[in-house]
Amino acid sequence: MKRGHRSAKPKGAFPRFYGRHAVIAALANPNRIVRKIWGTREALAPLDLPPVLPIVYADVADMGRMVPSDAPHQGIVAEVEPLDDVWLDEVLEQGRDDKRPILVLDQVTDPHNVGAILRSAAAFDALCIVTQDRHAPPESGVLARAASGALEIMPWVRVVNLARALDEIAEAGYWRIGLDGDADTVLGDAIGESRAALVLGAEGEGLRHNSMAHCDILAKLPISPRMESLNVSNAAAIALYAAASR
């Protein structure tokens, strides 16, 4: 696979994570570089911070101006460097002997949703999530807060061409299941005993035609006809549960 530049790398300011879960998880991740940390004395006192880490003691009001409006920073903010690229072929090799599912996101761009999906993927022990780089959010405080620490432990593969990635996933022995509300097959029947790659599209638009064409089967969640659809992060959590409880 071609090793290319990832657009998620910052072109200007580095991401700032906020909230205890996101910041403590970043500090605990040996692959994450934390550049600087701000916090109240009360919030920082229980933490075992590296002696070389620049620390700025600040009050709540000061930190409130460093994060999105009304964001619950809990008295702690950290400036970080984005994680290094994760390559699909390497992740597939690491998971060749197990049945952990893969989650593929087709143009899911909302950082709250992607963060929540990362959290569910970690909770249900997915192998990785895969997104198209141009149509996925970068690492950010909003995403890290929604992920509640999962950003640091769940491999996130960002690819240039999603169709090509789906082909590579199939070659590795995965059964590619596209979630579509108009499908005839229910997800539980579609999963079977094969290793599953669950493919979800953005809310509203759903899966693109080209992504559907690179799935082995389309399936739907058995939701009530009183509701047209679910939030994509909720759908991802249910699909992961279905894969984990085979």
pTM (predicted TM-score): 0.90
Q: Are 102 and 197 in contact (CB under 8 A)?
A: yes
Residue 25: name the closest of 88, 159, 118, 113 by CA.
118
3-state SS class at 198: strand
3-state SS class at 159: strand
Question: Comparing 11 with 19, which gets the higher pLDDT?
Answer: 19
Query: 106-130 pLDDT, tens per residue?
Result: 999 999 999 999 999 999 999 999 9
Q: How confident is the model at residue 3 (pLDDT cuts 50, 70, 90)?
A: very low
Work out the number of other CB atoms within 10 angstroms of the CB of residue 35: 13
% of residues, the chain, pLDDT over 90: 71
Q: Are 222 and 186 in contact (CB under 8 A)?
A: yes
